[in-house]
Structures are given as C-alpha cells and as structure tokens.
Amino acid sequence: MRIFGPTAIILGLASLLSEPGSAWAQDATAIQKSVGDLRVALDTVWVLVAGFLVFWMHAGFAMLEAGLCRAKNTIAILYKNFGVVAVSSIAFWIIGFALMFGDGNTLFGTKGLFVMGTDNSPAMGDAYKGVFDALNWTGIPLMAKFFFQLVFAATAATIVSGCVAERIHFSSFMIFSFVLVAIIYPIQGHWIWGGGWLAKLGFLDFAGSTVVHSVGGWAGLAGIIVLGPRMGKYEAAGRVTPIPGHNMPLVTLGGFILWLGWFGFNPGSTMGTSDPSLIAHIAVTTNLAAAAGVISSSLTSRFMFGKADLSMSVNGALAGLVAITAPCAFVTPAVSILIGAFAGFIVCLSVTFFDNRKIDDPVGALSVHLVCGIFGTLALGLFAVPALTPGGSAGLFYGGGYAFLIKQAIGVVAVGAFTFTLSLILWKVVKAIIGMRVDPEDENTGLDLAEHGMEAYPR
C-alpha cells in the first residue's frame, strides 16, 4: 500500500551519475518533494496524536463529574458525558466546522457543510485553494484539521454537563449540546480562530481559554439560571448545605486524565511541528501552571476550610490548566507558575462566590472553566512577551500598555455576551418545548433510576 520509502530511495540512486545540471535539478525537486511529504506526515501524526489526547479528556470529564456527583445520579452524568461526544461529532461534522472555519464573513463561515467543498490541503498559505482559508496556516490534510477541531468542540459541550448535573433531563441536555456545538460554539470560534472580527482586532487565545472553556462556562451558567439549584442545597436558612461527591478515586482519575489530555490540547494547538521549541515550551508552561494550581489551591483550601481538600486541589490543577490555555505559547515558564498559582487561588474563592449567590454548580465547572477561562485570557493581556506573540502584541507588564489588554477584555465580553444570551434563549426554548428539570420525586430518587431505569452500583 505504501509507495515511497527506503526502497524507492535506493532505486532512485541508480540514476544519479548522469550529467550534473538537469539531473541535479530533477533530483533536488524529488528530494524536496520527499522532505515536504515527510513534513506533512509528521505534522499529521502530531496533530492526530494530540487530538487523541484531547478526545481522552472526555473520559476525564466523565470520571471527574461522576465522582463529584452523588451515587444516585452517576449513570445520568456518565451518560451525558459519553453521549455528548457522539452528538458533538455529528453536529460539528454537519455544520459546526463550516460555520467556524469555512470561508464567509467576519461573523461566521458560509461554506463547507459536511466538511466538504474545494480543498487542496495540505497545501499551505497562498498555495492553499479551498473553502477553509482560515486553517491554511497548517499543512495537514483536511480530515486531520477537522478531527482536531472536533475534539475541541466537544469539550465545550462537556463542560456544560457538570453545571446542570443531578437535575436535568437527559434529552434536554443532549438537544442543547447539539445546538451548542452546531451553532453557538462555532460562531464565536469563527470570530477568534476562523479569521473573524476578533482575530482581525488582535485578540489572542492560543488554545482556547475563551473559545472553549469560558464558552462552556457561559453556556452552563445560563443552564444553571434556568434550572435553579438542586433540592436541599440552599434551603437551610443562612447557609449552604454541602452535597459531597460519591467517589474520590474517580475524581482523581478524572483530574489525571484531564491533565494528560491538556498536553494534547495546548501543545497540539500548534497544529504542526515547524517550531518544536514552541511545542516543548508549551508542554512546560502547561505543566507548571497545573502544578502551581495544585499547590496554591491546597494551601488556600487549608487556610479557608482548615483542611487540605483533594477535590479543591484537583479543581486547582484544572484551574491552572484552563488559565494557561490562552497564554501557554506567549508567556515564560516563571509567569506560567504565577498564572497557575493565581488560578488555583481564585478557584477556591469562586466556589464560595457562586454558592453565596445560590448559583448551584455541582462540580465547580463555572469556577474552573468560566472564571479561570476569563482570568487566563486577561492574564495574557498582562504577561504576553512580544517576542513570542504573532504581531508582537505585548502585555501590560511587558511594555504593551493597556492596548492589548483592552483587546483581550473586548473578546472576553463579546464572547461572553453572545454565548450567554444565545444559550439562555436556547435553554428557554428547550424548556418550553420538552421541559428541562426532572420532577422533584425523580430528583429525590436519583436520575439513574428515574431516567435510565438502572443503578450505577447494583447489588
């Protein structure tokens, strides 16, 4: 099945001893083609392997969220996390990818439904001829571009599942997820990664603190507001009733899976290997931010609650990871520690903040993905090293003044307003048509028996 390889080379060498001029030119052409083919192959392998790691994050979300819910809602949350990958895959294939990366206007793409249309990938730059110009900076086959972006899209939807856990109908969540991945996520993604207006403005988000994480958070916040808190959470006068998760090994496993998956998420967002130093740099900043997030959240939880809290530390790792996602390529390792540490700190405060406002977020997804997604995007506005950013954008502390920071803030606000508003409308439509919240007795029984007729741990 393979045509080129060592054999071809050996055979090719036979013809080398002819006249120098033209043979040399032919030979150089052939060699350069081989080298170019190899580059495409290597870039494709890297992007796909990184995409596999991002896919794996869905297992991490499933385990983390299942562990942080009660046993009686375990199947329900597992099923949402498993099913959302499926629904997202189909939605992004049909239309999401086209809206996000298809040629169109500065607001959304208008070409490329079903990932079809003219395309001569892996040709790059001006040599690229096709309907997905926004991705012409990466020299990989179209299907590799689609696969990598698909696993990102599904991540945004998965984040929502944690916010609405333990009280939402299975089908309501699935329908929302389909539309989120088909329409809402790709439109704002087009603004930033698809050559839209925020990209033109100079807004930067390397791997998706805003595009993926805060968007998942905004959509989830809208869901929480429409759904209301779980029964019993805020009913005791003047205080919050903790509802502990049921399985800490699952939570920890989920944390490890997500940390691992982020090595695909951030370094893989290079979508190529032309700058291996950058890939390694991102792996290091990503890891240091996660590490700092663990340490600061452990210390903060010990100070705030008297005991080092494992679930807070797992969320601290994720907080650091979410926060470093936008800046990972553009800041120094030392700054990545700062960003991760601060994220680990604010995630603890944020949990209390939301609880005080009776915004019931069972797994802390808002604190992790929304709050730290915003923080990370703005932190890039503070710490961007001009030598590392495209166009030389500089953070406030790196000589850039407020100019770049303001662009980052505009992006945060615009994406937030768009996503939250559309999500709120969508949730209300779903609620009106098929309902959204399970009956109180079903919520009391648990969604596993009520919605799925099974228990997660039958005798």
Of 64, 67, 66, 70, the residue nearest 445 (C-alpha)? 70
Choose the binding region for a copy of itself from 180-188, 262-270, 395-403, 412-420 (rule: CB under 8 A). 262-270
From the centroid of its chain, how far is CA 114? 22
CA torsion 391-397-400-403 (nearest 10°) is: 100
Residue 136 or residue 214: which is nearer to a copy of itself going by CB?
136
Shortest Cβ distance from residue 9 to a copy of itself (Å)?
Answer: 4
Residue of the chain from 191, 267, 319, 432 that contacts a copy of itself (CB under 8 A): 267
Q: Which is nearer to a copy of itself, 257 or 382 (CB)?
A: 257
Is 440 a binder of a copy of itself (CB under 8 A)?
no
- The answer to whether residue 56 forms part of the interface with a copy of itself (CB under 8 A) is yes
Distance CA 288, CA 282 (A): 10
Among 129, 235, 241, 305, binds a copy of itself (CB under 8 A): 305
Tokens at residue 297, please?
Answer: 């959240």
User: Do 165 and 81 meet the contact criterion of CB atoms below 8 Å apart?
Assistant: no
Taking residues 128 to 167 in sequence order and writing x for each that binds a copy of itself by CB under 8 A, - otherwise, the string is: x--------xxxxxxxx-xx--x-----------------
Least distance from C-beta 252 to a copy of itself, angstroms?
4
Contact status: 303 vs a copy of itself (CB under 8 A): no
Out of 64, 78, 199, 380, the residue judged to bind a copy of itself by CB under 8 A: 78
Structure tokens at 341: 């540490």
Among 101-109, 188-196, 419-427, 445-453, the segment contacting a copy of itself (CB under 8 A): 445-453
| Beta-carbon count within 10 A of 434 CB | 11
Phi, psi for residue 437 in degrees, rounded to 5: -105, 140
Cβ contacts of 33 within 8 Å, gap of 6 or more: none
Among 369, 376, 382, 283, which residue's Cα sits nearest to residue 333? 283
Residues in the interface with a copy of itself (CB under 8 A) total 148
Alpha-carbon distance values, 269 to 51, 106, 326 (Å): 9, 22, 10
- C-beta of 417: minimal distance to a copy of itself in Å? 28
Q: Is 83 in the site for a copy of itself (CB under 8 A)?
A: yes
Rounded-to-integer distance, Cα 176 and Cα 190, Å: 20
Among 102, 130, 223, 245, binds a copy of itself (CB under 8 A): 245
The answer to whether 311 contacts a copy of itself (rule: CB under 8 A) is yes
Amino acid at 185: Y
Residue 13 in contact with a copy of itself, rule: CB under 8 A: yes
Nearest to 412, CA basis, from 191, 224, 149:
191
Residue position matching structure tokens 């096709």: 130
Q: Which is nearer to a copy of itself, 254 or 416 (CB)?
A: 254
Instruction: By CB under 8 A, tell whether 380 contacts a copy of itself.
Output: no
Q: Which of 207, 326, 337, 385 binds a copy of itself (CB under 8 A)?
A: 337
